[in-house]
Structure 1
Amino acid sequence: MTAAVAMLDLPAADGSLVPYTMGEPRAFTRPSGAARTRVAFAAAHVVPDPFAERSTSSVLDWDTTLAFRRHLWSYGLGVAEAMDTAQRGMGLEWETTRELIRRSGAEARAQGGLIACGAGTDQLEPGPASLDRVIAAYEEQLAVVAEAGAAPILMASRQLAASAKGPEDYAKVYGRLLGQLDRPAILHWLGPMFDPALEGYWGTSDLDAAADAVLAIITEHEAKVDGIKVSLLDADREIAIRRRLPGSVRLYTGDDFNYPDLIRGDDQGYSDALLGIFDPIAPAAATALHALDEGDLATYDEVFSPTVPLARHIFETPTYYYKTGVVFLAWLSGHQRHFRMVGGLESARSVPHLVRLFQLADAAGLLPDPDLAASRMRAWLTVQGVPH
């Protein structure tokens, strides 16, 4: 007997209701381990406690937050913890971040999962700070990451961006930090579309000169650099940087628009992955990466292709609100009981945006229980004032 098709009415751009019939979810491959030919991290979101006394505080639902990390590990993906997807700099306070790193590190050890954690300077007040204070803030967070047993990710610092006079100040800060590490770090170049406060990172707004500056840091400290995550949404620039890296250093794509081509690579190399989009598309990403392992490029392209329109929609301008779409899909997919976010960020995207997101996720076969997704979508639309 064929299962009943999930149907609902969705609002069009003019507010009128249009019948919509959901498709069948795709049966993605759950692998027995990580992909062999690429290193892949999913930057994971966090789930707040909706009953916390202050709705804008970063009080997390720890059981659900950690369960989602187990979901990512079950598909062979690494977890990039405490990154911007987890609302660093957009509501997640350092005290909660420290506990998140500690708990996720313990969970990774128990699960045998790959984990890397972001270390930054967000315990400092906004605005300029002396380079010594920036370094000390990084050192405090790096100690927490090390204690958790995770690989370090040196996140881009708003305070450093506000304080540095030029590339030489970045070289000083990163040189000091890398020189102290016991294991190689991933550097993070987060473009201003993700965080406007990071405009001019590496000491200049000229992206060619900025690339020269960070490549000089990497070359000088090659043994202490595992890779660099580049989140500029510019595939050609990423490839140019990738081709200039020392042979031992990885390029982790953070390009949520062009990831299939960048990960596939060309005859001169490829990018590994550290992506926010891998949070909502983990089953598809795992299936595609394992097809790539087997040299099955047709399946790789076929699986990833319908996720690209979804990704470009989630990360559309203003890009830094992409977290709202990520969490909306986690709720529709049954990974959490509510669509609430730290700092009330669930309100950051419009009704038409999230309706279109629902349709694109359905088209990609990413909603595992169409009846649940349809039921939750109807309930959410009711709250938004959409009649049924």
Structure 2
Amino acid sequence: MTALSLPALDGTLVSWTPSGRRSPTPTPGYPTSRTAYAAAHVVVDPLSPADPSAVVAVDWDTTLAFRHHLWSCGLGVAEAMDTAQRGMGLDWANTRELIRRTGEEARASGGRWVAGVGTDQLPAGPSTVDSVVDAWREQLDMVTTAGAIPVVMASRALASAASGPADYRAAYGKLLSAAGTPVMLHWLGEQFDPALAGYWGHADVRAAARELAALCTEHASAISGVKVSVLDAEIEVEFRRSLPDGVACYTGDDFNYPELIAGDTEGHSEALLGIFDAIAPVAGAALSALDAGDTTAFRSLLDPTVPLSREIFRAPTPMYKVGVVFLAYLNGHQRHFRMIGGLESGRSITHLATVLRLADAAGALADPDLAVTRMLPLLAAAGVDQ
């Protein structure tokens, strides 16, 4: 294995050699003991003649090929979520096209998928609660027509328009009362999106959890599950136990997912995670072990990925998309390390070097030699000589 000189967190350079460990090969088929989705990223076309900071040009072939990779690992695809840079560069026109194209691929291959229902088609500026509901309905109809399970995403427009819990209850109540099929709800914490601070009408996260649980009880027949992304395992477990029968809890906690998926004597969380985009083969193999009743093997596979995930999702957390795309590049799923709007510049070379080392330790590199080869030009561009 080729040694690299990598920048360390203390500003020094250290010599590092990959372990040679490769990603496991998952057992074909979807897990039976848990439902698991990977929130999938979008691959940009870096050679578009348009200004990439102003026009979103998607490499559709590579983007869709990556969805097939996730399906081959036994994971469902969570489409058009925040991992796809929804709200951070992916515009509504491309989001709509992304959902349409993924729907076609899913129908052709039998791939499982869900898709985000947002309000990002609304014009810039203040909105009303009613306009938020109308925007959700438009996207919900489109997602349902495409064949996906709808995931109603937390809305920045509603966070801005709502004056308190009653406005949230009114907005979600109107949408859920008219929904023709059960939907999933998505509670994205302010760590992931500061514009969602105080969502559900409460600054205190436990009070917000109680508000959401009450909404789920009131509209249980219209809700199949709730994705919780607040990065607090204790609060998620409390919330999970408060949900009515038939409403599943999907962990979006990229810090504590192994314990939450494994669960306890009172239940477990399903999974809808951005980190599963980056560690799909490991996640698939771990879930296969859980299907076989081997919790020890499940934890031995998934626990080593937690330091990697915590580094990728560290503050500022919205920049986690950089680490996800970086690993897709290292693992050969795309030919370049570029992102919509140049977001790849949002993390330092030191962070990327740390992600590389932790991915190797987690068994998340498909081909360590390829990863080293692809890391070299990034190091050279940062002035790190080899």
Output the amino acid matched with 1:81: E
- 1:277 matches 2:289: no
Could you tell me which runs of 5 or more consecutive residues in structure 2 were left unpaired when the two chains were aligned: none
Distance 1:277 1:292 in 2: 18
TM-superposition CA deviations, 1:122-165 (whole Å, max 9, x none): 11234431111111111111121011110000000000000011
TM-superposition CA deviations, 1:181-222 (whole Å, max 9, x none): 222111011000000000010111122221222112111111
Partner of 2:195: 197
Query: Among 25, 36, 39, which residue is 1:40 paired with?
Result: 36
CA distance 1:137–1:260, shift in 2 (3 Å): same
Aligned-residue CA RMSD (Å): 1.2
Query: Among 371, 375, 378, which residue is 1:377 paired with?
Result: 375
Output the amino acid matched with 1:20: W
Aligned residues: 384
* Bigger shift: residues 109-118 or 25-34: 25-34
Q: How does 1:1-388 map to 2 (within 5 A)?
A: 5-13=1-9, 16-52=12-48, 53-56=50-53, 57-388=55-386
* Bigger shift: residues 313-322 or 126-135: 126-135
Kept after mapping to 2: 8 A contact 1:331/1:338: yes
Kept after mapping to 1: 8 A contact 2:8/2:354: no
- 1:346 deviates by 0.3
**Identical-residue share of aligned pairs (%):** 58
Output the amino acid matched with 2:356: F
Output the amino acid matched with 1:55: P
Distance 1:147 1:197 in 2: 29
- 1:171 deviates by 1.2
* Bigger shift: residues 257-266 or 18-27: 18-27
Distance 2:272 2:235 in 1: 17
Could you tell me which runs of 5 or more consecutive residues in structure 1 were left unpaired when the two chains were aligned: none
Distance 1:198 1:126 in 2: 16
* Bigger shift: residues 46-55 or 208-217: 208-217
User: Aligned with 1:122: secondary structure?
Assistant: coil
- 1:230 deviates by 0.4
Distance 1:212 1:167 in 2: 11
- 1:364 deviates by 1.1
Kept after mapping to 1: 8 A contact 2:5/2:385: no
- 1:27 deviates by 4.8
- 1:178 deviates by 1.4
Distance 1:28 1:14 in 2: 32
- The normalised TM-score by structure 1 is 0.97
- The normalised TM-score by structure 2 is 0.97
TM-superposition CA deviations, 1:273-326 (whole Å, max 9, x none): 000000001111111111111111111111012100000000001011000000
Output the amino acid matched with 1:303: L
- 1:15 deviates by 5.1
CA distance 1:174–1:384, shift in 2 (3 Å): same
Kept after mapping to 1: 8 A contact 2:4/2:16: yes
Kept after mapping to 2: 8 A contact 1:128/1:160: no
